[in-house]
Amino acid sequence: MKPVRLLILGTGGMAKNHAEGFSAIPGVTVVAGIDTRPEQLATFLKTHSIPHGFASAQEALAWGEFDAVTNVTPDAAHHATTMPFLAAGKHVLCEKPLATNARDAEEMATAAAKAGVVNMVNLTYRLVPALQKAAQMVREGAIGTIRHFEASYLQSWLTQPAWGHWDKETQWLWRLSTAHGSKGVLGDVGIHILDFATFIAGMDATEVSCLLQTFDKAPGGKIGEYTLDANDSATMQVRLSNGALGTVTATRFATGHLNDLSLGLYGQTGGLEVKFENAVSRLRACLGADIQTGTWREVDCPAVPTNYQRFIAAIRGEGPADPDFARGALLQRFLDRAEASASEAGKLLKV
């Protein structure tokens, strides 16, 4: 088993998941962390028993005793912080979205391909068993030619404090402010539901019409240094490469849904419905003779590896690096076009 030495770039809230996820993989050692905040870094290193800490990528690269990097910095920092590691020939897993605009995302994808390193985007819902099983069934022709789909990502963290108080904690407030690098719900979770739908369908989106809405959430639209101007809800009409039409929605105001995704995918010979609710996935299918009576049956879905495991497996030559930076750049092009559509009152635009 090839040993892998991992560096964690950024030590905020999500970094805990990365540290624990990678440390649980045999042969993987988390050897260092990077953060510009000395106290935050020191606490993180101590909590996870990580021996080395650095204030910058340059310091870490000068040391050099690591094989791979997992980038858990805020969205707006992904491009600038990833590029030096690609240039140094390090494997990189980057949190989603890959960048905050298509130009930067495509530059990252090109640099990763040129470097010949393993590169992946942490689209976490790829590890949902029902998603992988549904994608397999579509590719095997289970539902025939797809004609229609409906996808949604429903969150309620702006109406309840289950994950924390969005109006008091900076880990949430930055996600509501464009000046702090947020692309709103479109960039934060819209990327997940778009990947969810198009990965299962096995097709790319070719056209989009999008509306975005930002709601008043505080007097004057500000809390401290944070101007709350990022979008809170997004609705899209989307055309896939074979002409299939569907809807994609994402919101932080779906009261009663903490973090739920759903997809209905309908073909000429069958239908699939994927649900991910309360951290449990479920797949239903209407196939064969059942389409005459509208009978839906549950489909068993085997467990799938995490993206952390897939990243390490790819480094070891034991599996594909998927989803990679090229996929992240493709999704970012769609998001850029959706944002452009919304600025023109939902005009239909080619992706």
Q: Is the pLDDT of residue 94 over 90?
A: yes
**Residue 334 falls within a domain, yes or no?**
no
Judge if 146 and 109 occupy the same domain: no
Q: How far is CA 212 from CA 148, 209, 225, in A?
A: 22, 10, 23
pLDDT > 90? residue 229 = yes
Q: What is the mean pLDDT of residues 242-264?
A: 97
Could you tell me if residue 325 is inside a domain? no
Could you tell me if 65 and 84 lie in one domain? Answer: yes
Q: Are residues 100 and 146 in the same domain?
A: no
pLDDT of residue 117: 98
pLDDT for position 299: 98
Distance CA 207, CA 98 (A): 21
Strand bridging mode 146-155 / 245-251: parallel
Residues 104 and 163 in one domain: no
CB atoms within 10 A of CB 80: 12
Last residue in a domain, options 91, 124, 157: 124
Q: What is the DSSP letter of 264?
A: E
CA-based diameter of the chain, in Å?
66
Pair 94, 234 in one domain:
no
Computed over every residue of the chain, the mean pLDDT equals: 96
Q: CA–CA separation, 99 vs 105, rounded Å?
A: 5
Last residue of a domain, one of 303, 320, 338: 303
pLDDT digit string (tens) for 58-81?
999 999 999 999 999 989 999 999
Q: Determine the 3-state secondary structure of 253 from DSSP.
A: coil
Helix (DSSP H) and strand (DSSP E) numbers for the chain: 11, 17
* pTM, 2 dp: 0.93
Q: What is the spatial distance between Cα 201 and Cα 274, in angstroms, rounded to a whole number?
A: 12
335: in domain: no
Q: Stretch 207-225: mean pLDDT, rounded? A: 97
Residue 1 confidence (pLDDT) = 85
Chain centroid, CA 99 distance in Å: 11
Per-residue model confidence (pLDDT) at position 349: 98
Determine, yes or no, domain membership for 10.
Answer: yes
> For position 270, which CATH number holds?
3.30.360.10
Residue 236: which domain range?
Answer: 129-303
User: At residue 216, does pLDDT exceed 90?
Assistant: yes
Please tell me whether residues 115 and 262 are part of one structural domain: no
Q: Assess if residue 116 is contained within a domain.
A: yes
pLDDT digits (tens, 9 = 90+) for 143-179: 999 999 999 999 999 999 998 899 998 888 999 999 9
The whole-number pLDDT of residue 327 equals: 98
Name the amino acid, one letter, at 164.
G
Tell me what pLDDT residue 170 has.
Answer: 84
pLDDT for residue 336: 97
In a shared domain, residues 221 and 162: yes
Same domain, yes or no: 140 and 248: yes
Percentage above 70 pLDDT, the chain: 100
* CATH of residue 105: 3.40.50.720
295 lies in the same domain as 251: yes
Residue given tokens 């649900």 in the structure block = 275
Asked whether residue 291 is domain-assigned, the answer is: yes
pLDDT, tens digit, for every residue of 306-338?
A: 999 999 999 999 999 999 999 999 999 999 999
What are the E-state strand segments in the chain?
4-9, 28-34, 52-54, 68-71, 91-95, 119-122, 146-155, 205-213, 222-223, 226-227, 233-240, 245-251, 259-267, 270-277, 280-287, 297-298, 349-350
- Cα separation, 211 vs 76, in Å, equals 23
**Same domain, yes or no: 119 and 146:** no
Exposure string (b/e) for 53-73, b if CB count within 10 Å is 16 or more? bbeebeebbeeeebbbbbbbb
Q: What is the mean pLDDT of residues 200-224?
A: 97
- pLDDT in the model for residue 163: 87
Residues 167 and 268 in one domain: yes
Last residue of a domain, one of 124, 159, 182: 124
Asked whether the beta carbons of 19 and 8 are under 8 A apart, the reply is yes
How many domains, the chain? 2
Phi, psi of 82 (to 5 degrees): -80, -40
Which CA distances in Å does 163 have to 117, 150, 167, 264?
35, 27, 12, 28
Q: Is residue 283 part of a domain?
A: yes
pLDDT digits (tens, 9 = 90+) for 271-309: 999 999 999 999 999 999 999 999 999 999 999 999 999
- Is 350 part of a structural domain of the chain? no
